[in-house]
Structure 1
Amino acid sequence: MTDEKKWYALYTKPRWEKKIHSVLLRKGVESWCPIQRVKRQWSDRKKIVEEPLFKSYVFVRINEAERVKVLMTDGVLNFVHYLGKPAVIKEEEVNSIKKYLAEKDARITVLTEEGFRQDDKITVNYGVFMGNHGTVIRGGRKKVYVKLQSLGQVIVVEFPAEYLSEAEV
């Protein structure tokens, strides 16, 4: 067993993300549940609420010895697996998401006249995601859907056009 701590994604029961995050913290496990502020409309009012960025996911930074303690937490269904093993999330991806969420009113708008097309390879040239490469899942003029490889999740980010370029092959 190794003592090196790595980031992993946990798959949780629906709408249990915040609860699991707080229980893991009380257990002494380094946990992170990325939250975004969203305006919600009800029939009688509007309200800003905090929702998890990734539905049914919580991130933990643990070593091998802590895996059982994490899995024994009520509401945790399993680790997210990739190629039959728990998927290790890159530290840089976690840090990029944290930096992005810390930006006030972060928005992203896209690029050229025609915008990006599906399967285009892109590079982010400015901002907290600078230096990251991605594949466009769905593109256009206003939004680009970027896939984080180790998560298999899609995150929607609006970039100013000058922030993006086609990746060099």
Structure 2
Amino acid sequence: MFWYVVHTKPRQEFRALQNLEQQGYSCFLPVLRMQMVRGGSVEMAEEPLFPRYLFVRLDSSVTGKSWTPIRSTKGVSRLVTFGNQPARIDDTLIESLQAREAQPPRTLFTPGDRVSCTVGPFAGLEGVYQMLDGDARALVLIELLSKPVRMAIPAARLRRVE
């Protein structure tokens, strides 16, 4: 049994994963869990680590499950090959990717980041990100009139200053 690479249709990685698993294939789709701004609010999201690719474990022996249905699975574009040989992936790479998924999700900001307000009366003002205050607001330390002031600003209105 080896891992092979499946090329999916655009933005259909999760669909391909679900359909392949329903057919009895063992699959792995590495995802990156992170906070994102969507519709003006901050939410946790899962994005594929390798857009348009996932891994499937297949038996290359005669007694193994047929590979033919993979090509016609909804969401799948093709099995990645080099010449006429399917692209085989080493087990240690898959194991390291699976271990990476056990890490905590990436946050939008980390305490101490320099941020700038993008909208509203404080647009353009820079401050230091402190922490999230509930689901949608962030506590930011802004200097006003030569004094540091802690303010709650919607996290969707902030951007990191490089």
TM category (shorter chain) comes to 0.5 to 0.7
Label 1:96 to 1:14 Cα distance change in 2 as closer, same or farther (>3 A).
Answer: same
CA apart distance, 1:35: 1.5
Alignment size in residue pairs? 102
Question: What is the TM-score with the length of structure 2 in the denominator?
Answer: 0.57
Give the strand-richer structure, 1 or 2: 2
2:24 is equivalent to residue 24 of structure 1: no
Structure 1 unmatched ranges of 5 or more: 107-169
Match of 1:51 among 47, 54, 70: 47
Aligned residue number for residue 72 of structure 1 = 72
Report the CA distance between 1:81 and its aligned residue.
2.1
Q: How far 1:76 moved relative to its partner?
A: 1.1
Structure 1 Cα separation of the partners of residues 29 and 105 of structure 2: 19
Q: Distance in 2 between matches of 1:55 and 1:83?
A: 22
Q: Distance in 2 between matches of 1:24 and 1:42?
A: 29
Q: Tell which has more relative contact order, 1 or 2 (C-alpha 8 A, sep 6+).
A: 2
Give the whole-Å Cα distance in 2 for the aligned partners of 1:103 and 1:25: 24
**Mean Cα displacement is larger for which, 14-23 or 83-92?**
83-92
Unaligned runs of 5+ in 2: 107-162
Aligned to 1:37: 33
Aligned equivalents of 2:10 and 2:66: distance in 1? Answer: 23
**TM-score, length basis structure 1:** 0.55
| CA shift for structure 1 position 46 | 1.3
Aligned-residue offset at 1:95: 0.3
Could you tell me the percent identity over the aligned residues? Answer: 28
> Superposition RMSD on alpha carbons, in Å?
1.8
